[in-house]
Structure 1
Amino acid sequence: MPGPRTATAADPNPPYPNPSPASLATDASGPNASGPDSHHPDAADPGADPTTAELTRLLFGTDHGRTHAPWRQLLADPRLRNDPAAGSADRIAASYRRLREVNRAVDATALATDPVALSALHEWLGPLDGALIVVAGIHYNLFLGSLLDHDPHEKRPLAPYLAMERIGTFLCTELGHGNDAAALRTTAVYDRTDRTFTLRTPDAGAQKFMPNTGPAGGPKSAVVAARLLVDGRDHGIFLFLTPLTDEAGPLPGVTVRPLPRRPGSPVDHCLTSFDEVLLPQEALLTGAHGRLGHDATFTSALGSKRKRFLTSIGRVTIGKLCMSAAAVGAARTALTVAIRYAHHREVTGARADRRIPVWAHRSHHGPLLEAAATAYAMTALHRAAVARWTGRDDADPAEVAAAERQVAVAKGWTTWQARSLIIECRERCGAQGLLPVNGITPLAMDIEGTITAEGDNLALWAKAGAELLLAESAPPAAVPAGGPEHPAVLQALLHAAEQAHLARARTLLRQAPPGDGLRRWNTASPAALAAVTAHAERSAGAALLALAEQATEPGARDLLTDLYRLFALRRVAAGSGLLLAEGLLTADQVRSLPDLVERAIARLAERGRHLVDAFDLPEEFLATFPIAGPGYQRAFDHPEAHWNFADSPAQPV
């Protein structure tokens, strides 16, 4: 976590109780410590299982203490606990209180300019409170990040937003314009006489849809996406810094109407509109993509209005990384709860006098181990996407486009996979999994928001599919000799499947009647979308295999290799018909795939707890979910019932 601020003698609210989040990189005196920096994977803890410690190091990197440990500490903080009995209004207010607790612990400017830290915030705090990461991501990334990325941020007072005297929000999507936001209709008309803009919502479809502009959290300002009109000429869509509310409510000309509550963690989502709201010239967020001189002369390095718009809302790409991170964190949390419960939820065994954990059944642990393989692949793919985005060369447009595509593909795949994984975990926990207090159903509701936020997944993948379809791609290397249980063979098969889908899509595109672009795309799009799925699976597999190859502890290397095999075998089996038709698998190899899957599951079955313990979720957090602990029955017990009397026979718990 970047740069927590330092308390002074005049500061009545020190940034955080000792130890501060940043100090956790070197100080393990906090409440979670059970040894020298017990949750720092690089630390020498003689009591730690070496395989688990190595898995944690590989999942979170060598800078775990700087990037992840501070957020982990916040996850364990009792002040951030949820009240399951609270109503919607109280829960919304609590999310803003938590946001301010986060803000006390960080350097807000440093956080807003660090995609890695922003992703880590969503990864760790998302499972705690889905609404918290909504308002945090909007304030730090979309609002404050946009201010810092544009001119003239050095002249604009940021102190109210850094101190959260005013909460920031982001108004782009309109009631009638979502994925086609480049066609939005809100206008900002420039008056050259007094150098002001008039912000206006021209019709019902132009109302800003679902920003968190309600009264919760205190006064708010926004960056509003609007069409810049100068002397009747449309220069495209830009962002405008706009005060929305004060302590008394909406400011003159601003109308805020609450939307019906959506499933999941409640957020103060609203419809927001503007009626002749005056803004100073400094409200326009400018840059190389567009500037307006005092003489009303407009200049831009970009001739395309669409490119100006995409540059203005460039923070949405980092938002996709944050949504992917939230999905990864939610999946790991659901899986941890489900696997822990499976180890201490007992049922009658083959003998009536014997009790065994449900984990002992292949029908129970098999789906959860497949989910574990997916969760590890999700984490690895997310890490690769973050590294690709932060390491891009902005001077190379092709590289930037490829990095953006990788981020979009990772966002779609991780959020969709998280949905399926969380549902599987809920079902494996039976009726207990239905109770929100056990933590899984809230994750299932919140994941729906990540699937839609920062661009609907299907729209993102349609764009990615078109780009892959038109891009030049080298044919995959020949499948190496050996059976499909070998990682190199599996990875080659995943690559071959991707290329086969792309080849079919290109053939369909060529064969479609000319002259109707939509019809041609509709003909090719199913195969193109299948290629994006195959591309995501191949990329996730490669990232997971790379983790296995980086392992220095033999047990961790073997576990990760088996997780990779299970992950890749399932994907190869699903596409075995295509691979058989392409001559890349024999009929006997196709028949062997189910047996190879079973062998991979059998090798992993004894290590289920190691796999989720490596996720390093703090016990203070997991203790809030009754079924995550062996004494879960006590959470639902009646202490005054007759079986709890001193003279009653002891009952197992």
Structure 2
Amino acid sequence: MTTQLPDVHGPSLAAHLTHALFGDRFAQLHAPWRKLFSTGEFRLRDGLPHDERAALSYERLRLLNEAVADPAGLVRDVERLSALHEWVGAVDPGLGTVASIHYNLFLGSLLDHDGDRRDLREFTSLSRTGTFLCTEADHGNSASQLETTAAYDPDSRTFLLHTPSPAAAKFMPNTSSTGGPKTAVVAARLLVGGRDEGVFLFLTTLHDGTGQPMPGIEIRRLPQTATAPVDHCVTSFDRVRLPYEAMLQADHGRLLPDGTFTSSVGNRRKRFLASVGRVATGKLCMSGYSLGVTRHAVTVAVRHAHHRHTTGATAGTTVPLFGYRSHHTPLVDALATTYAATLLQRTAVQRWAEAVRPEADGAARDDAERLVAVVKGWITWQARAVMTECRERCGAQGLFLANGIAAQLAANEGTITAEGDNLVIWTKAAGEMLLGHFTPRPPSGVPAAERQLADPDFLQDLLAGVERVWHQRARTRLRSGKAGGPLGRWNRTVTPAL
């Protein structure tokens, strides 16, 4: 850092570090959220039971929405959306969850599918809250195999949305009437003339104006989780009739009123991935959320270490906890990790923002989506490790909800699972990297004996060398040709691939 920053001290150095973390757009991207969440309406309300905390998150969602001049513009701006998630988790994990679902998964899906042809005012005004129903009781990360169907009848120009078995019930979305009436986008298998055209999204009203489920919709509350206080439910549909306009259409799948189906994508799995494309942005939202609560935990733990005094090395003296290397070393390591995570998040957000532009090619989007998946896994896992360390370094003080570590640590488990379980999305990325979507960096031509371990470029080259070793081992195992079939070959490959 000393070779890159001026020789300055105090606020000037802090300003340089702030710029390194937040870039030139702090005032536009981050300052509004910091100001909003610093107001009294978002302070911790101690002692609330689970249901009241869940209801409070929806009240705060409306306050948040009132502060957003253009909700649709927020949804379209990946950098602003990610920044929101960096600040919301520290004040209300439940709010972070329902805001992510409403803005990114629900509104984002509508806007990505001919959204300019729909009247979205009841959703942008939050007279109705949006939710997203994709995973099923028996289909989580294997969501492309989900069983919910939407059969089209060209004579009546309607769909019949149906849950064929308990295994196909939509699992865990926030579909209760807590927070007011809700509307969902529901992932279902489109059936036209008995032919399966793949999975698409269907706009479905869940509640009437009084908050009662619409006819044919069954909503059952799930047991309370240890993560963010949200109204998780199981939701089923018994031949619920939807209008023709309910189907969210785009180039990957269009249905004419007479039942003619066209698609620019021939593969049904790719149609599914296009339909739920907002999940990729959701990964950035999850890593942004974890990043924000991690920075908060480090801040609290470091301040505590400077303010809390303990017995010194000589009789009758006291020193701050931070004076002991055994205490400050893990905190400095946590601080370094959190800086790295912040810079990695900035890189991933920028890459994704560039990849989703209309002029970007498909290969760039695939590469960016793979990076987003890897970043989501790394940051959310590092968040768990860093927050655990920070909680312990604060002792009993770290257990109080008011200090913003213990509850956020539990809520972070949700980010590890949401938008794709970390291990699963890393395994998918590892497989793609082995199949030609990654080329290791070639060795440096400078002999190792002529280099110094204090040189960051040399350290990077060493890490690249380790990467080449694991990449080669994985490819060798994948191509070994031993008996066992595809699953056996993959099981031999997956450890070095990861």
**Common fold by TM > 0.5:** yes
Q: How far apart are residue 48 of structure 1 and its match?
A: 6.4
Of 226, 236, 241, which aligns to 1:278? 241
1:226 alignment partner in structure 2? 188
1:193 alignment partner in structure 2? 155
2:406 alignment partner in structure 1? 441
Aligned-residue CA RMSD in angstroms?
1.5
Deviations 1:72-114 (A, max 9, x none): 1112111111212111111111100110011001111101111
Segment of structure 1 superposing worse, 88-97 or 468-477: 468-477
The amino acid across from 1:195 in the alignment is R
Give matches, 1:560-571, under 5 Å.
none
Does the CA contact (< 8 Å) of 1:479 and 1:492 recur in 2? no
Does the CA contact (< 8 Å) of 1:115 and 1:318 recur in 2? yes
Of 166, 169, 177, which aligns to 1:207? 169
Of 372, 389, 394, which aligns to 1:424? 389
Q: How far apart are residue 264 of structure 1 and its match?
A: 2.5
Of 415, 440, 443, which aligns to 1:477? 443
Q: Does 1:73 align with 2:39?
A: no
* Distance in structure 2 (CA, Å) of the matches to 1:116 and 1:349: 47
Does the CA contact (< 8 Å) of 1:289 and 1:311 recur in 2? yes
The amino acid across from 1:489 in the alignment is F
2:297 alignment partner in structure 1? 334
Of 91, 96, 103, which aligns to 1:140? 103
Deviations 1:181-213 (A, max 9, x none): 000000001111110000000000100001011
1:94 alignment partner in structure 2? 56
User: What TM-score, normalized to structure 2?
Assistant: 0.95
The amino acid across from 2:86 in the alignment is E
Q: How far apart are residue 47 of structure 1 and its match?
A: 11
1:465 alignment partner in structure 2? 430
* Distance in structure 1 (CA, Å) of the matches to 2:445 and 2:279: 38
1:455 alignment partner in structure 2? 420
Give secondary structure in 2 for the equivalent of 1:273: strand
* Distance in structure 2 (CA, Å) of the matches to 1:221 and 1:55: 43
The amino acid across from 2:353 in the alignment is T
Give secondary structure in 2 for the equivalent of 1:371: helix
Give secondary structure in 1 for the equivalent of 2:150: strand
Deviations 1:145-176 (A, max 9, x none): 1111102x233221100100000000000000
* Distance in structure 2 (CA, Å) of the matches to 1:356 and 1:441: 26
Does the CA contact (< 8 Å) of 1:512 and 1:523 recur in 2? no
Q: How far apart are residue 515 of structure 1 and its match?
A: 6.8
* Distance in structure 2 (CA, Å) of the matches to 1:229 and 1:117: 38
Deviations 1:538-585 (A, max 9, x none): xxxxxxxxxxxxxxxxxxxxxxxxxxxxxxxxxxxxxxxxxxxxxxxx
Segment of structure 1 superposing worse, 506-515 or 263-272: 506-515
2:5 alignment partner in structure 1? none
Structure 2: unaligned runs, 5 residues or longer = 1-7
Q: Does 1:494 align with 2:463?
A: yes
Of 408, 426, 433, which aligns to 2:373? 408
Does the CA contact (< 8 Å) of 2:440 and 2:467 recur in 1? no
The amino acid across from 1:180 in the alignment is S
Give secondary structure in 1 for the equivalent of 2:339: helix
1:154 alignment partner in structure 2? 116
Q: Return closer, same or farther for 1:249/1:49 CA change in 2, 3 Å cut-off.
A: same
* Distance in structure 1 (CA, Å) of the matches to 2:244 and 2:392: 56
Does the CA contact (< 8 Å) of 1:476 and 1:492 recur in 2? no
* Distance in structure 2 (CA, Å) of the matches to 1:267 and 1:498: 40
Q: How far apart are residue 438 of structure 1 and its match?
A: 2.0
Q: Does 1:399 align with 2:388?
A: no
Does the CA contact (< 8 Å) of 2:97 and 2:228 recur in 1? no
Does the CA contact (< 8 Å) of 1:160 and 1:166 recur in 2? yes
Of 472, 477, 483, which aligns to 1:503? 472
Q: How far apart are residue 137 of structure 1 and its match?
A: 0.7
2:491 alignment partner in structure 1? 522
The amino acid across from 2:97 in the alignment is V
Name which one, 1 or 2, has greater alpha-carbon Rg: 1
* Distance in structure 2 (CA, Å) of the matches to 1:62 and 1:223: 36
* Distance in structure 1 (CA, Å) of the matches to 2:494 and 2:328: 37
* Distance in structure 2 (CA, Å) of the matches to 1:479 and 1:269: 56
Q: How far apart are residue 53 of structure 1 and its match?
A: 1.2
Deviations 1:488-518 (A, max 9, x none): 1111111111111111111111214267111
Give matches, 1:538-577, under 5 Å.
none
1:307 alignment partner in structure 2? 270
* Distance in structure 1 (CA, Å) of the matches to 2:65 and 2:74: 10
Give secondary structure in 2 for the equivalent of 1:227: strand
Q: How far apart are residue 276 of structure 1 and its match?
A: 1.1
The amino acid across from 1:199 in the alignment is L
Deviations 1:310-334 (A, max 9, x none): 0000000000000010111111000
Does the CA contact (< 8 Å) of 2:180 and 2:211 recur in 1? no
* Distance in structure 2 (CA, Å) of the matches to 1:494 and 1:475: 10
Of 65, 85, 89, which aligns to 1:122? 85
* Distance in structure 2 (CA, Å) of the matches to 1:237 and 1:248: 28
Give matches, 1:527-538, under 5 Å.
527-529=496-498
Q: Return closer, same or farther for 1:248/1:136 CA change in 2, 3 Å cut-off.
A: closer
1:19 alignment partner in structure 2? none
Give matches, 1:339-358, under 5 Å.
339-358=302-321
Does the CA contact (< 8 Å) of 1:479 and 1:493 recur in 2? no
Q: How far apart are residue 356 of structure 1 and its match?
A: 0.5
2:338 alignment partner in structure 1? 375
Does the CA contact (< 8 Å) of 1:346 and 1:356 recur in 2? yes
Q: Return closer, same or farther for 1:184/1:160 CA change in 2, 3 Å cut-off.
A: same
* Distance in structure 1 (CA, Å) of the matches to 2:272 and 2:479: 32
* Distance in structure 2 (CA, Å) of the matches to 1:367 and 1:327: 19
2:287 alignment partner in structure 1? 324
User: What TM-score, normalized to structure 1?
Assistant: 0.73
Does the CA contact (< 8 Å) of 1:173 and 1:181 recur in 2? yes
* Distance in structure 2 (CA, Å) of the matches to 1:84 and 1:173: 33
Q: Return closer, same or farther for 1:345/1:512 CA change in 2, 3 Å cut-off.
A: farther
Q: How far apart are residue 468 of structure 1 and its match?
A: 1.2
Q: How far apart are residue 439 of structure 1 and its match?
A: 1.6
Give secondary structure in 2 for the equivalent of 1:133: helix
Q: Does 1:131 align with 2:98?
A: no
* Distance in structure 2 (CA, Å) of the matches to 1:155 and 1:190: 21
Give secondary structure in 2 for the equivalent of 1:170: strand
* Distance in structure 2 (CA, Å) of the matches to 1:443 and 1:89: 18
* Distance in structure 1 (CA, Å) of the matches to 2:227 and 2:305: 25
Q: How far apart are residue 450 of structure 1 and its match?
A: 0.3
* Distance in structure 1 (CA, Å) of the matches to 2:445 and 2:224: 52
